[in-house]
Amino acid sequence: MSEHRPQLEITRDAATAAARAAEIVASRVASGAAKVLGLATGGTMVPVYAHLVAAVQARKLSFHGVTGFNLDEYVGVAPHLPASFHAYMRQHLFALTDFAPDHAHIPDGLAPDLAAEASRYEMAIAQAGGIDLQLLGIGSNGHIGFNEPGSDFASRTRVVELSEATRRANAVAFPDGAVPEQALTMGVGTILQARDILLLATGVEKAGAIAAAIEGPLSTDCPASALRLHQRVRIICDEAAASELDGPTADIRRRA
Ligand code: GLP
């Protein structure tokens, strides 16, 4: 597989980066180019979903006929609990828009047979025709979805062990301190099958991961570096997240 340079857009701040990501998602959905969306969670996506919700409420956008596949879910966290990604998606997107509940897919972290659930999820993506546009955040250790460093670039949806760094970063959602040790996540290979990929990173805590993803070695040490194996990746960063880029990509500045 050959390497490609992701298209990079650097905005002056996080709010502008989120608005730009939302604009791209909204225009692809509105044109019918993105009928199947890969959806992400995390703090970075909250303002993106807020823009999309505002557009739906202003009747400028509709998710009618759109299918969503979320990247991941914690193992053992019931969907009604606020820390689950099911609850996150209801709170930030699904319950506030016309997204059809039966078209909103999230891995079932309570499934009695997690390996069977992972295969079922892969099959559901395939049956929907594959993902048109995959929205991604990035962990400060370079993870995408919950594919931690070391994840094989050919990996598929599966159960993974969460790293200590990731468990610490997500601990705020678990006030009782019971941060799950495992998650179900689409694999790096699953993500790379999306037709288009849009990664959004904001804040200085993502600067090292963004530099490693774009300018570091192509290595499972930084799972996001695998995105360079895909021809149609756009990365939107604010200045803070772009602050450790020092190769030729550092010259690309798009101040909106
Ligand atoms: C989480 C999610 C990722 C997300 C990342 C960054 O653990 N599994 O999909 O992109 O970590 O989250 P945040 O946007 O809160 O920094």
92 among known catalytic residues: no
Q: How many alpha carbons fall within 13 Å on the CB side of residue 136?
A: 34
pLDDT at 250: 53
- Taking the centre of ligand 1 as the mean of its atom positions, its distance from the CA of residue 42, in whole angstroms, is 4
Q: Cβ(180) to ligand 1 under 6 A?
A: no
Higher-pLDDT residue of 255 and 212 is: 212
If you average pLDDT over every residue of the chain, what do you get? 95
The Cα–Cα gap between 53 and 95 comes to 10
- The percent of residues in the chain predicted with pLDDT above 70, rounded, is 96
pTM of the complete model: 0.96
Based on the residue annotation, tell me whether 72 is a catalytic residue of this protein.
yes
For residue 251, pLDDT beyond 70: no
- Cα–Cα distance measured from residue 181 to residue 173, given in angstroms and rounded to the nearest whole number: 14
* Of 217, 226, 88, residue with least CA distance to 148: 226
Question: What pLDDT, on a 0 to 100 scale, did the predictor assign at position 177?
Answer: 85
The pLDDT, as a whole number, for residue 254 is: 47
- The one-letter amino acid code at 163 reads S
51 is catalytic: no
* CB distance 159 to 75 below 8 Å: yes
Q: Cα(43) to centroid of ligand 1, in Å?
A: 7
Average pLDDT over residues 16-36: 98
**Residue 124: CB partners within 8 Å, gap ≥ 6?**
69, 105
Decide if pLDDT at 99 tops 90.
Answer: yes
Residue with CA nearest ligand 1 atom 10: 137
Whether 196 is catalytic: no
Catalytic residue among 122, 132, 148, 196: 148
The answer to whether residue 253 scores a pLDDT higher than 70 is: no
Nearest residue (by CA) to ligand 1, atom 1, is: 42
CA distance 101 to 28: 21
Write the DSSP symbol of residue 45. G
- The residue annotated as part of the active site, out of 51, 103, 143, 230, is 143
Say whether pLDDT at 252 is over 70: no
